[in-house]
Amino acid sequence: MDAAMEAGTLRADYRLSDNLTAPAGQVFLSGTQALVRLVLEQARRDRAAGLGTAGFVSGYRGSPLGMVDQAMWKAAPLLDAAGVRFLPAINEELAATAVLGTQQVEGDPQRTVDAVFSLWYGKGPGVDRAGDALKHGNAYGSSPHGGVLVVAGDDHGCVSSSMSHQSDFAMQAWSMPVLAPADVAEYLEFGLYGWALSRYSGNWVGFTALSETVESAMTVDLDPIHARVACWQDADAVRQISGHMPPPDGLHYRWPDLPSPRIEQRLGAKLEAVRAFARVNSIDRMVVQADEARAGIVTCGKAHHDLMEVFRRLGISTQALADAGIRVYKLGLAYPVEPTRLLAFARGLEEILVVEEKGPLVERQLQALFYNAPDGVRPAIAGKFGIDGRPLLPEREEMRPSRLMQPVADWLARLSRGLDRRELVPQFSEHPLLSNAADGIRRQPYFCPGCPHNTSTRVPEGSRAQAGIGCHFMASWMNRETSGLIQMGGEGVDWVAHSRFTATPHVFQNLGDGTYYHSGYLAIRQAVAARTNVTYKILCNDAVAMTGGQPVDGPLDVEAIARQVSAEGVARVALVSDRIDVHRGRRVRFPAGTTFHPRESLEAVQRELREVPGVTVLLYEQTCAAELRRRRKLGRAPAPTRHVFINEAVCEGCGDCSVQSNCLAVQPVETVLGRKRQIDQASCNHDESCIKGFCPSFVTVEGATPRHPVGHERGVAALRERAAALREPAPRLGAGPFDILVAGVGGTGVVTAGALIAMAAHLERRVASVLDFMGFAQKGGSVLSFVRLAQGRQWLNQARIDAQQADAVLACDLAVGASPDVLQTVAPRRTQIVANTHPTPVAEFQRNPDADLHADALLAKLRHATGSGGIDTLDAQALATAFLGDTVAANIVVLGFSWQKGLVPVSLAALTRAIELNGVAVDANLEALALGRLAAGDPLALTRLAAGEGKPDGLALVAPEPAATSATPLPQLVADRVALLTAYQDAAYAARYTALVEAVQAAENALGEAGRERRLTRAVAEQFARLMAYKDEYEVARLHSDPAFRQALRARFDGPLRLRFHLAPPLLSRPGKHGEPPRKIAFGAWLWPLMGWLAKGKRLRGTRLDPFGRTAERRLERQSIADYEARIRALLPALTEARLPIAVEIAQLPARVRGFGHIKLAAHAVAAARAAELLHRFDAQRYPRPDSTHGANGAGQLRGIPIRQADAMADAMADAKSDAKADAKTARTGAPH
């Protein structure tokens, strides 16, 4: 049965391990996995040839090669059996030096193997760092039966690097041959070729691994690769066929080989050997042959597929090119080019267009090759510039088909009228996008919930920090006074010179423990030698989180670092840790003078260190949150027994918990009383820094566990039963490619969704590819998974989905789905979109508690892009929470929904099998898939399940319903607030509220049509109630003792509710000596009954007998009520249609005054300054222009500490006199004035 006939037949016997072990046939292989298979293949070939070789792999991780070590470790049993040693190095240059040592083995009389073939890997900057070692290694050479492959991970688009990179030219400068694989399949063939070439020529051989190939995966047919490799001639045949004779002293590594010009001369001889080998064993190929040609195209690497995609989209076949007299030649050996075939290719051509990535590596070689060629074999060479000298092809950006489209179409039209397709170019080019209020919304990478860097990267007031390489670099775009960019290992050395020419006395330098071990300790040594004032904050996180959570490459702990830096001569070492008691007990293992501090003392420790002359070191120890989460899942770390919970009724929505924690697990929740905060239990990593937020709403629940919905097991069974009854959609996969873009948030399973689709297609014997672009996103940033499916390999050229090419977009997140990178792939009236409308907050929310996601505007961008309304929506998180208990599988819900809509053209059996093969949370993912399918195929059945209908067991699953105040009718709003204030105090108190609201409504009615929307009345109804229901001790106690709070806890947790309340009572908590807010104290569950008793004391509120009422905060709150009431009443007689918008803004000002203590006082000062401005605009004659210096600092808040707290307190105290006069009246009425 041929492949076409087999397509669609499920490969039930396929296993994930087949990608490394299958001897033949088709496998699904990623670029990283291909490097693992490559060394296994070479070991097999050597054994088959009777060679007793071993393999050696070394390098240093870094995107796009960030997962090589993980893949090697995972394949350790296979590597061990094949005699391949994997030894990751502490940095790239030492890895290259180690590889050099393997080439000495063949000449060692004590050797235990015949020879060693080696693979070095490193990202582009690592190639530069290791340049001296690689240059020496290449110069001294490989062994005849060993060989070295140098894999350079190049990030052409600066997707996850400090700068764009192209290693080809560096390798060319070292006289190192360069192989340019175009896709994952060529990794296998070209890698084997590289070792064969290295063994013959004595060179180390470069191998470019671009982000778009090494981070992709695809269906690979092993059989044609094996067939081509089997045709290669051995060294004797190469010499016989080519006539190449190596120099008398050979080309390979030997000793003695003392420094002399002879080494450099031998490099030239090695390149001649490369050309001879390539002449006999070529990996170049003629793609389009034309006997009577006058023009040709030479391609190289991934750019070849980009060009072939251009031809496909323009409807130009290879036969059409040949008929037009155009040849196409693909290079596999990018340097040095093999001349004999190129000369034959160019015979009779007038012009050659060179299509290659980034800089003109091949183009310049062709120019040199043909410059002195005889007439008839001297074509004009175009590439980065046309033959007219004008820029032609991109040189400073990633190559894509859409970026090639216009210049190639113009070039073809100039050569042949029959190939003029310029009118088609706009269909495949980037198009204008809708501009609206959501333009600034961006899903920016951010620290994980509970990440140590959330705390460790803070600096004291008046100080600044310098960034370094690692996840902590993200502090640069947070409110952290952090800046700068330096190469890995150079951290702080720029300050060594900078400090000589500035008045700034000191900086903090962030340095990850992985970077410290890599090379950063040398920077500290330099700073000590230069007597520089700097504090190195060495962030000891127990894992290299940025590239996947690998361990640091060697024995490293805080004790060892402390001893090492002390020996280097630093002035002081301080350790801040969440295990400080453990380290204090091991004090003798630390150098003398080391001080030990809990995390809460970080601010004070930094203030001390910045005053110490010279170099100081602060070791900050806390395990990486992502790594800790992995360990918990694997049972290698204890599961947390304590959970943080926010009583939303107490929460003011001020955002101080986000300021203190910088944590993405603290999320907004919209309620009828405005935006509050909640803890996303699914993403929370239990760092608990949020508790430091100056707010009494926080409780911790000990012993209980987050609960599944009521009737979860029965509900899941019902879901699967209903989903199984759904009709399967008709497949949409035709002859051409079907492109699916999965877009979402890093860390939520976007990559998993893409991988499942691709694997499902592979299991059906179709051809698939997937490319994952995560950029800097470990958590919180944009992640794109490009999935391409087809019946045959000829339809899949590049792995990326290009402009206007997506058939379906699975927008698992609105902000990512509406980003330009995604929208540019949408083709109007073709692309179908499934959009998850759940309003997941963006990172801006951490800095601005009132940040608006503009969900409607984001959705409008998506609708505009489709052009025909081809969009379906769902709230995947709400569905997952309601039916499955958490949001972990929300993206699989989106996948199931999209599949049922016919947008994922694979069978359900294949998709199910892919989930089973993945082996992670199989049951949960199958449940989520069924839930998504049912939401798309029979939403009424889902509604009945949620309502408990149609099931005898009375299943009751209720999805959360976000409340919107603006949607509440005004009479209902007023009634709700009257009930609130009556419960808060009494009916007389509520009557005061009603009187003002009615007065405002009457004034607004008098405006006629202008007042019809009742905007002012609504604003007063909302904000006057907010002011009147200020949360003093009585109200906090009432809300904590309210049965609704206990019900909310029970709805979210199973087991005993052992609570701890985290409060800062004024009589027990005092501000810190450096202006820090009062520290909170944890109170046990014994406080809960007392709160019910305290709540009854509300009758004392505002009276002389009120023990809490004399604080500046309480007096300010009471005065604010009176001021607001008087201000609104004063505005009403002067209210006009023109003044109405200003009046509404004045009425809404209390919405800005949120929080407790110093947070509220600071916010009040800001609101008061704004009120003065607005009142002047309302009536300039009555209200004078405010002093421009008033509130100049905005009573702002920095890191949770108010700049002008003293001023706010003084303002509040000035109100004491008027408060005292009202006390008597308050006592008589029983309600505060």
**Which string of DSSP letters, residue by residue, matches 358-395?**
SS-HHHHHHHHHHHTPPTTS--EEESSB-TTSSB-S-S
Residue 1026 counted as domain residue: yes
pLDDT, tens digit, 9 for 90 and up, residues 845-860: 888 888 999 999 999 9
Q: Are residues 149 and 191 in the same domain?
A: yes
Q: Check residue 335 and give its pLDDT.
A: 98
Q: Are 1088 and 1075 in contact (CB under 8 A)?
A: no
Tokens representing residue 1003 in the block? 């004034």
The proportion of the chain whose per-residue pLDDT surpasses 70, expressed as a percent, equals 92
Q: Are residues 1044 and 1027 in the same domain?
A: no
Q: Are residues 810 and 878 in the same domain?
A: yes
pLDDT, tens digit, 9 for 90 and up, residues 1079-1120: 899 999 999 999 999 999 999 999 999 999 989 999 999 999
Residue 1166 counted as domain residue: yes
Mean pLDDT is lowest, of 634-638, 851-855, 916-920, 970-974, for: 634-638
Judged against a pLDDT cut of 70, whether residue 658 lies above it is answered with yes
Judged against a pLDDT cut of 50, whether residue 1150 lies above it is answered with yes
Q: Are 660 and 458 in contact (CB under 8 A)?
A: no
Residue 554 counted as domain residue: yes
Judged against a pLDDT cut of 80, whether residue 1217 lies above it is answered with no
CATH number of the CATH domain containing 381: 3.40.50.920
Q: Check residue 547 and give its pLDDT.
A: 58
Whole-angstrom CA distances from 665 to 447, 684, 835, 855, 892 are 11, 5, 22, 20, 20
Pairing of strands 1201-1202, 1197-1198: antiparallel
Cα separation, 159 vs 63, whole angstroms = 9
Tokens representing residue 818 in the block? 């509406």
Q: Is 885 left (phi over 0), alpha (psi -120 to 50) or beta?
A: left
Q: Check residue 1204 and give its pLDDT.
A: 34
- What SS3 class is residue 678? strand
Q: Are residues 470 and 550 in the same domain?
A: yes
Q: Are residues 663 and 810 in the same domain?
A: no
pLDDT grade, residue 775 (50/70/90)?
Answer: low
Residue 632 counted as domain residue: no
Average pLDDT over residues 334-343: 97
Structural domains in the chain (count): 6
Q: Check residue 457 and give its pLDDT.
A: 94
Amino acid letter for position 322:
A
Q: Check residue 956 and give its pLDDT.
A: 34
Q: Are residues 169 and 292 in the same domain?
A: no
Half-sphere exposure (CA, 13 Å, Cβ side) for 317?
3
Judged against a pLDDT cut of 60, whether residue 1192 lies above it is answered with no
Mean pLDDT is lowest, of 109-123, 537-551, 586-600, 689-703, for: 537-551
Closest CA relative to residue 166, chosen from 114, 124, 110: 124
User: CA 570: distance to chain centroid?
Assistant: 36
Q: Phi first, then psi: what are they for 1178, rounded to 5°?
A: -70, -45
Max intra-chain CA distance, the chain: 115
Average pLDDT over residues 104-109: 96
Virtual CA dihedral for 1191, 1195, 1196, 1198, nearest 10 degrees?
140
Q: ∠ CA(887), CA(891), CA(893), 5° rounding?
A: 85
Closest CA relative to residue 836, chosen from 893, 778, 875, 794: 875
Judged against a pLDDT cut of 90, whether residue 1027 lies above it is answered with yes
Q: Are residues 269 and 338 in the same domain?
A: no
Closest CA relative to residue 115, chosen from 93, 73, 81, 83: 83
Q: Check residue 577 and give its pLDDT.
A: 95
Tokens representing residue 697 in the block? 């709403």
Strand partners, 1007: none
Cα separation, 458 vs 546, whole angstroms = 19
Judged against a pLDDT cut of 70, whether residue 1230 lies above it is answered with no
Q: Are 445 and 777 in contact (CB under 8 A)?
A: yes
| Host domain of residue 760 | 731-840+850-927
Average pLDDT over residues 575-600: 94
Judged against a pLDDT cut of 80, whether residue 1208 lies above it is answered with no
Cα separation, 948 vs 928, whole angstroms = 19
Q: Are residues 613 and 746 in the same domain?
A: no
Q: Are 574 and 597 in contact (CB under 8 A)?
A: yes
Residue 439 counted as domain residue: no
Name the average pLDDT for the chain: 90
Q: Check residue 716 and give its pLDDT.
A: 79
CATH number of the CATH domain containing 74: 3.40.50.970
Judged against a pLDDT cut of 80, whether residue 376 lies above it is answered with no
User: Which of residues 420 and 544 earns the better pLDDT score?
Assistant: 420
Cα separation, 1181 vs 1021, whole angstroms = 28
Whole-angstrom CA distances from 1204 to 296, 1166, 1200, 1214 are 72, 10, 12, 16
Query: What is the chain's length?
Result: 1233
Cα separation, 106 vs 116, whole angstroms = 7
Q: Check residue 7 and give its pLDDT.
A: 60
pLDDT grade, residue 424 (50/70/90)?
Answer: very high
Q: Are residues 315 and 463 in the same domain?
A: no
Average pLDDT over residues 5-26: 87
Mean pLDDT is lowest, of 712-726, 732-746, 975-989, for: 712-726
Half-sphere exposure (CA, 13 Å, Cβ side) for 67?
16
Mean pLDDT is lowest, of 147-156, 442-451, 538-547, for: 538-547
The proportion of the chain whose per-residue pLDDT surpasses 90, expressed as a percent, equals 77
Q: Are residues 1067 and 1168 in the same domain?
A: no
Judged against a pLDDT cut of 60, whether residue 787 lies above it is answered with yes
Judged against a pLDDT cut of 80, whether residue 794 lies above it is answered with yes
Q: Is 728 left (phi over 0), alpha (psi -120 to 50) or beta?
A: beta
Virtual CA dihedral for 218, 221, 227, 228, nearest 10 degrees?
-20
Cα separation, 350 vs 879, whole angstroms = 64
Half-sphere exposure (CA, 13 Å, Cβ side) for 541?
33
Judged against a pLDDT cut of 80, whether residue 88 lies above it is answered with yes
CATH number of the CATH domain containing 878: 3.40.920.10
Q: Check residue 1044 and give its pLDDT.
A: 95
Q: Are 876 and 725 in contact (CB under 8 A)?
A: no
Q: Are residues 1124 and 1160 in the same domain?
A: yes
Judged against a pLDDT cut of 80, whether residue 1218 lies above it is answered with no
Average pLDDT over residues 444-468: 93
Q: Are residues 673 and 763 in the same domain?
A: no
Q: Kindly tell me the burial class for residue 708, based on how many C-beta atoms sit within 10 Å of its own C-beta (0-12, 13-18, 19 or more).
A: middle
Q: Check residue 423 and give its pLDDT.
A: 97
Average pLDDT over residues 779-806: 93
Judged against a pLDDT cut of 60, whether residue 1203 lies above it is answered with no
Indicate if the alpha-carbon torsion angle 1026, 1027, 1028, 1029 is positive or negative.
positive
Judged against a pLDDT cut of 60, whether residue 1051 lies above it is answered with yes
Q: Which of 568, 592, 623 is the last residue of a domain?
A: 623
Q: Which long-range contacts (CB under 8 A, 24 or more apart) does 908-915 make?
A: 908/728, 909/10, 910/10, 910/760, 910/761, 910/763, 910/764, 911/756, 911/757, 911/760, 913/10, 913/12, 913/760, 913/763, 914/755, 914/756, 914/757, 914/759, 914/760, 914/763, 915/756
Q: Check residue 1 and give its pLDDT.
A: 38
Amino acid letter for position 909:
A
Residue 239 counted as domain residue: yes
Q: Check residue 409 and give its pLDDT.
A: 97
Residue 721 counted as domain residue: no
Q: Check residue 945 and give its pLDDT.
A: 83
Q: Which of 279, 296, 314 is the last residue of a domain?
A: 279
- Nearby residues of 702 by Cβ (< 8 Å), 6 or more positions away: 641, 642, 1058, 1059, 1060
Judged against a pLDDT cut of 50, whether residue 1021 lies above it is answered with yes
Average pLDDT over residues 347-372: 96
Q: Which of 279, 295, 322 is the last residue of a domain?
A: 279
User: Which of residues 949 and 829 earns the better pLDDT score?
Assistant: 829
- DSSP symbol at 518: I
Residue 713 counted as domain residue: no
Q: Check residue 732 and give its pLDDT.
A: 77
Half-sphere exposure (CA, 13 Å, Cβ side) for 416?
17
Judged against a pLDDT cut of 90, whether residue 661 lies above it is answered with yes
